[in-house]
C-alpha cells in the first residue's frame, strides 16, 4: 500500500472512530431518557465499531512497516490479521443478536419509544450507512481488506438500528416483529462474517494465480523472447502490496548458463515493471523434463 492510499485508509478509520463515539453518546443518552434496553444495546454496538476501527488503524500501520531481516517480505499480512479479528467480533455480535432476538420472542416484550429515540435511531442509520459506503469505497481504492471488514461492521450497526426503528414503527401492531427481524439480521451478519474470514484465510493460506495473471505472464514472455519458455509450476505469494511470484521455464539444454541467466533476469525485470510482482524463476532443460500443459 503506497503512502497516499495508506493515509486515505487511516483517515477513513480515524473518521470512523470519532463519528462512532459521537453516535454512541447520542444513542446512549436516548436510551437512558426513554429507558430502552434495545437502544442502549445498540449504543454499545456502535461503540464496538470504534474499537474495530482502532484495530484497522493498528493493522494498516503495522502492515506498512518495511521489510527487515526477520520479515524479508514485509509486514503486509498484518492487515489480514486485523480483518480476522474484525470478522470474529462481527460473528460474536451476530450470535448475540440471534440470542437476544429469540429471548425477545419468548418474553413477548414490547417497548414504547419516544421522539428522541426515533431521532437517534434514524440519525444512526443514515450516518452508519454513509460510513459503510465510504469504507467500501476507500477499501477498493487502497485494496484494504481490514477497511472492507470495518465497512461491514458499520453496516451491521446500521442494520441493528433498522431493527430498532422497525420495532418503533410496527412493534405496537405485531409484538413479534423485533424478534423476527433480529433473527433475520443475525443471519445476514453471520454471512458477512463468513465472507470476511473466508477472504482473509484464503490469502493467508495462499491462492492459486488467476487466469488473467497466467495470461499476462505468457504475454510478457512471448513479447520479450522469440522462443517459447513453457511457463509452468506458478505460485503466487501475497504480502499486502508486496507480491512474490515463482515459476519454472524451459530452455534449450545447450544454452550457456550466462545466456539462461540473462533471459531469466530480463523476464523478472519486465514482470516487476508491468505487473508489480517480484519474480523468482527456476530454469529447466527443455529435453530432460516432460512438458506440462
Q: What is the pLDDT of residues 62-72, one digit of tens each?
A: 777 777 777 76
Domain boundaries of the chain, sorted by first residue = 3-205, 211-285
In whole angstroms, what is the distance from residue 211 CA to residue 234 CA?
Answer: 11
Q: Judge if 3-205 and 211-285 fold alike in CATH terms.
A: no
Q: What pLDDT, on the 0 to 100 scale, is given for residue 292?
A: 47
Q: In this model, does residue 244 exceed pLDDT 60? A: yes
Q: What pLDDT, on the 0 to 100 scale, is given for residue 238?
A: 78
In whole angstroms, what is the distance from residue 16 CA to residue 29 CA?
Answer: 20
- Using a cut of 0.75, tell me whether the model's pTM lies above it: no
Model confidence at 248, pLDDT cuts 50, 70, 90, reads very high
Is 111:42 a contact under the CB 8 Å cutoff?
A: no
CATH hierarchy code of domain 3-205: 1.20.1510.10
| pLDDT, tens digit, 9 for 90 and up, residues 110-141 | 656 678 878 888 998 999 899 999 989 988 88
Q: What pLDDT, on the 0 to 100 scale, is given for residue 121?
A: 87
Residue 237 bridge partners (DSSP): 244
Model confidence at 269, pLDDT cuts 50, 70, 90, reads very high
Query: Of 41-45, 124-128, 159-163, 219-223, which gets the smallest average pLDDT?
Result: 41-45
Q: In this model, does residue 4 exceed pLDDT 60? A: no
Architecture per CATH, 211-285 = 2-Layer Sandwich (3.30)
Q: What is the mean pLDDT of the segment spanning 4-10? A: 64
Amino acid at each position: 500500500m503506497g503512502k497516499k492510499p495508506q493515509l486515505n485508509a487511516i483517515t477513513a478509520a480515524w473518521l470512523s472512530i470519532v463519528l462512532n463515539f459521537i453516535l454512541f453518546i447520542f444513542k446512549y443518552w436516548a436510551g437512558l431518557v426513554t429507558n430502552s434496553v434495545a437502544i442502549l444495546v445498540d449504543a454499545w454496538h456502535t461503540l464496538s465499531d470504534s474499537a474495530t476501527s482502532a484495530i484497522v488503524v493498528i493493522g494498516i500501520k503495522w502492515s506498512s512497516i518495511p521489510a527487515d531481516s526477520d520479515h524479508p517480505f514485509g509486514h503486509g499480512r498484518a492487515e489480514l490479521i486485523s480483518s480476522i479479528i474484525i470478522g470474529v467480533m462481527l460473528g460474536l455480535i451476530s450470535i448475540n443478536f440471534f440470542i437476544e432476538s429469540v429471548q425477545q420472542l419468548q418474553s413477548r416484550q414490547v417497548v414504547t419509544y419516544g421522539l428522541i429515540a426515533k431521532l437517534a435511531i434514524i440519525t444512526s442509520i443514515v450516518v452508519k450507512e454513509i460510513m459503510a459506503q465510504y469504507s467500501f469505497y476507500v477499501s477498493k481504492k487502497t485494496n484494504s481488506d481490514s477497511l472492507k471488514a470495518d465497512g461491514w461492521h458499520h453496516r451491521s450497526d446500521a442494520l441493528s438500528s433498522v431493527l430498532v426503528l422497525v420495532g418503533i414503527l410496527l412493534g405496537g401492531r405485531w409484538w413479534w416483529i423485533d424478534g423476527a427481524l433480529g433473527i433475520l439480521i443475525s443471519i445476514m451478519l453471520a454471512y458477512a462474517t463468513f465472507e470476511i474470514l473466508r477472504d482473509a484465510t484464503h490469502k493467508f493460506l495462499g491462492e492459486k494465480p488467476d487466469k488473467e495473471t497466467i495470461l499476462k505472464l505468457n504475454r510478457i514472455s512471448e513479447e520479450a523472447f522469440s522462443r517459447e519458455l513453457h511457463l509452468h509450476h506458478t505460485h503466487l505469494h501475497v504480502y499486502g502490496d508486496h507480491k512474490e511470484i515463482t515459476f519454472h521455464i524451459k530452455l534449450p539444454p545447450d544454452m550457456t548458463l550466462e545466456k539462461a541467466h540473462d533471459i531469466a533476469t530480463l523476464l523478472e525485470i519486465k514482470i516487476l515493471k508491468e505487473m508489480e510482482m517480484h519474480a523468482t524463476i527456476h530454469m529447466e532443460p527443455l529435453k530432460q523434463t516432460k512438458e506440462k500443459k
